[in-house]
Amino acid sequence: MREKIHPKYYHDARVVCSCGNTLTTGSTKKELRVELCSKCHPFYTGEQRIVDTAGRVERFKRKYKLEK
């Protein structure tokens, strides 16, 4: 096996979620930023939340005249 071709592995890499939650894992990057984690993901929290990017949900509702 060739030496010195693999990136440095951090055993204490930080994962930072947009909700503010932080956790530690192993990675080749020192810090990772994520949008969803187990504390804020709808599957784990049980709440229904639509993550809307670029107004797609509103555009769909206008197109079909749906009200909520």
Give 26-64 pLDDT, tens digit per residue: 999 999 999 888 888 777 777 766 666 667 777 888 888
State the pLDDT at residue 57: 75
State the pLDDT at residue 48: 67
User: Model's pTM, two decimal places?
Assistant: 0.57
CA distances from 61 to 50, 52, 53, 57 (A): 13, 13, 14, 6
Q: Domain coordinates of the chain in residue numbers? A: 10-64
More confident residue, 31 or 67: 31
Residue 68 pLDDT exceeds 60: no
3: tokens are: 């030496």
* Residue range 10-64 in CATH 4.10.80.400: yes
State the pLDDT at residue 55: 74
* CB atoms near residue 46 (< 10 Å): 6
